[in-house]
Each structure stands twice: as C-alpha cells, then as structure tokens.
Amino acid sequence: MGLIYDKEKCTGCMLCPKVCNFGAIEKDGDKVKFDLDKCVLCGSCEEICPEDAIGIERKTVDKEKIAEYKDVWVWCETAEGKLRGVAFELVTKARELADKLGENVIAVLIGHEVEHLAEFLIHQGADRVLLVDDKIFADYTTDAYTIAMVTLIAPRKPSIVLYGATNNGRDLAPRVAARMALGLTADCTGLDIDDERQLVQTRPAFGGNIMAEILCPYTRPQMATVRPNVFKPSDRDTSCTGDIEKVEVKIGANQVRTRVLEHVKEVVEGMKSVEEADIVVCSGRGIKDPSNLTLPQELADLLNAAVGGSRPIVDAGWLPPTQQVGQSGRTISPSLYFALGISGAIQHCSGMSSSEIIIAINKDPEAPIFEIADFGIVGDIFEVVPAIIEEIKKLQSDR
C-alpha cells in the first residue's frame, strides 16, 4: 500500500502537480515532492506521468481498513439533460442495501447544467448528492468521467459503488476499477448483503447459461455494473430531504484524450427503445417479410410497447440496429416480452432471459424458446397474433 516515487526516473516535467486534485504534489527543486497526508492514492499522477516515475500499490485492504469504508454510491448517468431510468432503479436498490448496512445512499451526479436533477435523486431516496458540474462533462468521455469518479471515491471511501450497465457505464466502471486496483462485477442482476456485510453480486455468465455469485473480499469499494430494468424504482417521495454537495474537479483539456465529434441518433422517429420499454414485442425470422412487421407493430401500439427483432431481422435491415435483442444487440429485462417466430438461440436468450414474463409463439413445438417461456403457444403467428390483438381490444374496451 502506498505511493512509490522513483526520483531517478522523474524528469521534473511538472505535469503531476497540475493534475493532482488534492494539492499533494509540490515542486521540489527540479523534482517533485509528495505530501502523503493529503494524497488519497487516486492515481491521477500515476496516469499522467510520462516516465512511469510514480507507482501506486493498493492491492489489499485489511479488515480494519475495510471497516473505514462506508456508504452506498450510485453513479447516476444523464443523457440529454435527463437522468437515465437505471439511475432511479439503482438509487432504490442502494437504499435497500444501505438500510441493511446502516449506511447512507450517495448519488453521484456528473454533467453540465444538471443541478436541477439532484432533487429527483433525493426524492428517490438518496441522502446526499455529490454534484460535479462543468462544461467538460457535457459529453461523456472516459477520461473526464474517470478522473471525476476517482477524485470523489478516493478520499470519501464508500463501501459500494454501483453503475448502470449501459454502454457508458460499462466503459467507465472498468477504467475506474483498473486505476484503483479494485474488483468489478459485470452486469449484475442480483445484489444483496451477507452476514459479513459483504456485497453479494449475482450475475449471468456464459450467455445466461449459468449464474455466478461474486464477492470482492479484500478491496474497497466493492464495485458492480448493474443491468438496467432489473430492479424496479420505488415511487418518488417529494417529502424526502437530503443535501447537495458541490465538488469541483479540475481537469485540463489535455487530460481528455478522446473528442466526441458527433452524436448520431439512430432511434427512428416513433420507434420506442427496447431497453426502456416496459413491454417489448420481438419478431424473428418467422415474420418472413418486412411488410409483415405491421403485425407486431399493431400489437405493440396497443400495449404501448417497443418492437424488437432477432439478429437475422436486423441484419436484413428490416429493423434498425438499436432494436436488436441479444448478445450482439441489446440486453433487456422488460416486465413482458413477446417472442414471435423466434427459435430461442442462446445468443438471443442471453439478451432477454431476465424478462419478468416471457410469451412465445412459434409453430415448432420443439423450439428452445418454449423452455424459458411462461406462456407458450404452438401455432402460426399470422393466425395467433391477430387473435391476440382482437382479445386485447376487447379487454381494453371492457375496461
């Protein structure tokens, strides 16, 4: 444990004092010196040093040290000035974990002009919001967000940090984990606290064929990315109170080494996101022709659902890539999932097997999709789906 400074290698370039957010590095003749009382081992200097003159050893934390780590944190991702749904789900889950531990829930809000969102997180159950607001965070970049996270984590010592397993969450979390030499559990679908106050992280692996329970016994914080839509957000309570702590994180423009030239949205007008919808109607090769996609669309419209597709449908260009469900597409867990003319290949199922209710309609009674379906109908989708539409219309007009 500790900081290792190799004075021989140091060329005195003075990059490290500039990036230290804790004022722990000073010029010392033609070299630098470290104030170890201020240093929190966040790793910014190690990262910037072009000569590998700074190393940080952080391997294991002993039991007493572990007890110093408290509170359950959630990185609350924003997109276009709004919080992503998974932020609310995770704050709710964090509340439950923190209550078991007798600790606080801290929401981390990083972005530009996002202060107004803090209140939603408090109403969702956060005790405190750590707010980092600056122009440099307007676009998500790995470098800026990693620096912000380690700058927050290192001195405050949370016991748990959760990230939504979105594309950005799965880009950011491993970077933070590697910088701080921490364990990280990927794409969890279950989280709990055991008798030893450890975070038990349950996740699918091998394309959903097996489940694994993962622990991080020696290092803190324990970190996990968590699959969106698995945990349900609680109702927001506007009487909840909490405080907002603004934290300044200074980042030089040259520390951000990727530049976002353009955001391209592929979301087709009027096409709902399969990741965010509560109900998804997914079609496979059984749909036969793109013109037949009006049928699942009609069912989806009735249920306010999103339409999705298996890979062959998307590869054929019948639906945009954003709508593909499965291993090389989106991983979703809606409350209701329809598989229409989908065989149920493992690569498809790994993207939807954590859905709450799975409905399968397939004319092949042996199709593997029936093994994971809660309700299966062996039949022709072109006969069964119109009949379902009729029944739902009937039900809706009766209400």
**From the list 29, 257, 317, 397, which residue makes contact with other proteins (rule: CB under 8 A)?**
257
Q: Which residue shows structure tokens 């394309």?
A: 207
Picked from other proteins, ligand FAD, none, the partner binding residue 247 (CB below 5 to 8 A depending on kind) is none
Angle in degrees, 0-180, between the axes of helices 169-180 and 142-156, rounded to the nearest 10: 50
**Shortest distance, position 272 Cβ to other proteins, whole Å:** 11
Dist CA 213 CA 202 (whole Å): 5
- What residues numbered 256-285 form the site for ligand FAD, per CB under 6 A? 284-285
**If binding is defined by CB under 6 A, does position 341 make contact with ligand FAD?**
yes
Q: Which is nearer to other proteins, 183 or 233 (CB)?
A: 183
Q: Answer for the pair 173, 225: CB distance below 8 angstroms, yes or no.
A: yes
Handedness of CA 328, 330, 333, 334 (dihedral sign): negative
* HSE, side-chain direction, 13 A CA sphere, residue 245: 12
357 binds other proteins (CB under 8 A): yes
Would you give the distance in Å from CA 246 to the centre of its chain? Answer: 23
Contacts with other proteins in 297-356 (CB under 8 A)?
Answer: 303, 321-322, 327-328, 335-336, 345-346, 350, 353, 356
List C-alpha distances in Å: 73 to 92, 101, 103, 125, 250: 11, 13, 10, 12, 21
Count the site residues for ligand FAD by CB under 6 A: 35
Closest residue to ligand FAD using C-beta atoms: 326
C-alpha to C-alpha distance for 88 and 76, rounded to whole angstroms = 8
- Specify the residue, 105 or 193, whose C-beta has the smaller distance to other proteins: 193
Subset of residues 293 to 322 that bind ligand FAD, contact rule: CB under 6 A = 310-312
The pair of structure tokens assigned to 239 is 């009487």
Quick check: 326 binds ligand FAD (CB under 6 A)?
Answer: yes
Cβ–Cβ < 8 Å for 398, 311 = no
Going by C-beta distance under 8 Å and a sequence separation of 6 or more, which residues neighbour residue 259? none
Amino acid identity, position 223:
M
Q: How many CA atoms lie within 13 A of 143 on its CB side?
A: 16
Per CB under 8 A, the list member of 6, 35, 213, 237 interacting with other proteins is: 213
Residue 372 lies near ligand FAD (rule: CB under 6 A): no
Residues 37-76 touching other proteins, rule: CB under 8 A, are 47, 59
Distances (CA, A) of 198 to 69, 107, 159, 193, 213: 12, 20, 9, 5, 12
Smallest gap from Cβ 261 to other proteins, in A, equals 4
Region from 82-90, 101-109, 208-216, 289-297 binding ligand FAD, contact rule CB under 6 A: 208-216
310 interface partner picked from ligand FAD, other proteins, none, CB below 5 to 8 A per type: ligand FAD
CB of 328 to ligand FAD, least distance (A): 4
Quick one: which of 247, 286, 269, 284 has its CA closest to 155?
247
Site for ligand FAD in 106-165 (CB under 6 A): none
The reply on whether position 178 binds ligand FAD by CB under 6 A is: no
* Of residues 11 and 258, the one with the C-beta less far from other proteins: 258
Q: Which residue in the set 205, 268, 357, 395 belongs to the binding site for ligand FAD (CB under 6 A)?
A: 205
138 binds other proteins (CB under 8 A): no
Among the candidate windows 105-113, 127-135, 233-241, 261-269, which touches other proteins by CB under 8 A? 261-269
Q: Which is nearer to other proteins, 252 or 386 (CB)?
A: 386
The Cα 349–Cα 239 span in angstroms is: 41
Single out the residue of 119, 192, 218, 318 in contact with other proteins (rule: CB under 8 A): 218
CB 32 within 8 A of CB 45: no
380 touches other proteins (CB under 8 A):
yes
Q: Are 84 and 77 in contact (CB under 8 A)?
A: yes
Task: Please name the residue that has the structure tokens 């939603």.
Answer: 120
- Nearest to other proteins of 125, 228 (CB atom): 228
